[in-house]
Amino acid sequence: MKALALIMLAMLACSAHAGDASKGQKKAAEVCAACHGPDGAKPSAPDQPILAGQYYDYLVQALSDYKVGRRTNPIMKGFAAQLSKQDIENLAAWFASQQKTSLHDQR
């Protein structure tokens, strides 16, 4: 029983967000808003993803992968290359805190 409790505590600790959503909001306004919208819910083109409501860990991984070239997109690589680890965590916290939406919701 104690082992199960320790495992659950470890899982909770791993899922805690290290980012600051308010700092992420500011950075998003500078870097992301033109393509994804200020809250990540209204991309400027249909081929750009909605970031609002995405999972924090997914966003951290995706931005980190763009930064180091594991994901390829010339535009995203250029933007992500300028981000620090803390910037990435802050952006992920901001977009993850937004209400999830879909393109269907925007019609």
pTM: 0.80
58 in any annotated domain = yes
In a domain, 4, yes or no: no
Domain total of the chain: 1
Write down the pLDDT at residue 84: 97
Which residue segment(s) compose the domain that 27 sits in? 19-106
What's the pLDDT tens digit per position in 28-71? 999 999 999 989 999 999 999 999 999 999 999 999 999 999 99
93 within a domain of the structure (yes/no): yes
Residue 15 CB neighbour total at 10 angstroms: 10
Tell me, what amino acid is at 62?
Answer: A
CA 94/CA 68 separation, integer angstroms: 22
Give tens-digit pLDDT for 6-34. Answer: 555 555 444 456 899 999 999 999 999 99
Q: What is the pLDDT of residue 104?
A: 47
